[in-house]
């Protein structure tokens, strides 16, 4: 563990570490959006949380990692919504900062979920709004 990660874990003892995306390139792109302030939300498949990843909780601070495992930033969860993929609203999608409209968000995310365990329009997702606390 790096000294920086150890320090962050001491300052945020309840923090969960995570990476965004499913490749180094996507992780870097998404972290850039978070750090720029364009991305203030993210969405994951509920099945991933059922498999052992802890659900986000409002008020908890978490550590987003670069693909190589080094800390990129600290975020604080503001809001968590669990529901069906097809019920994600345009406002929720746009808060993710990745697309200009709901259709683009649905296209990108349906392909992402298909690559990572399967996709169905009625699949359950966990949408999280967060605030950027610290850039590492």
Enumerate residues 6+ apart whose C-beta is below 8 A from 41. Answer: 92, 95, 96, 97, 127, 128, 129, 130
CATH of the domain at 99: 3.10.400.10
The tally of domains found in the chain comes to 1
- Can you give the pTM of this predicted structure? 0.90
The domain of 12 spans 3-135
- How many Cα atoms within 13 Å fall on the side-chain side of residue 47? 12
Written as tens digits, the pLDDT of the chain (136 aa) is 569 888 899 999 999 999 999 999 999 999 999 999 999 999 999 998 877 778 999 999 999 999 999 999 999 999 999 999 999 999 999 999 999 999 999 999 999 999 999 999 999 999 999 999 999 9
Spell out a b/e string for 41-57, using b for 16 or more CB atoms within 10 Å of the CB, else e.
bbbbbbbebeeeeebbe
């Amino acid at each position: 563990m790096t000294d920086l990660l150890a320090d962050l874990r001491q300052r945020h003892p309840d923090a969960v570490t995570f990476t965004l995306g499913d490749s180094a390139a996507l992780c870097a792109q998404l972290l850039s959006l978070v750090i720029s302030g364009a991305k203030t939300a993210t969405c994951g498949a509920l099945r991933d949380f059922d498999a052992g990843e802890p659900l986000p909780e409002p008020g908890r601070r978490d550590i987003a990692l670069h693909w190589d495992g080094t800390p990129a930033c600290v975020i604080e969860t503001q809001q968590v919504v669990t529901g069906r993929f097809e019920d994600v609203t345009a406002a929720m999608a746009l808060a993710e900062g990745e697309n200009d409209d709901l259709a683009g968000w649905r296209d990108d995310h349906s392909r992402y979920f298909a690559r990572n365990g399967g996709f169905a329009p009625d699949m359950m997702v966990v949408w999280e709004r967060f605030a950027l606390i610290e850039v590492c």
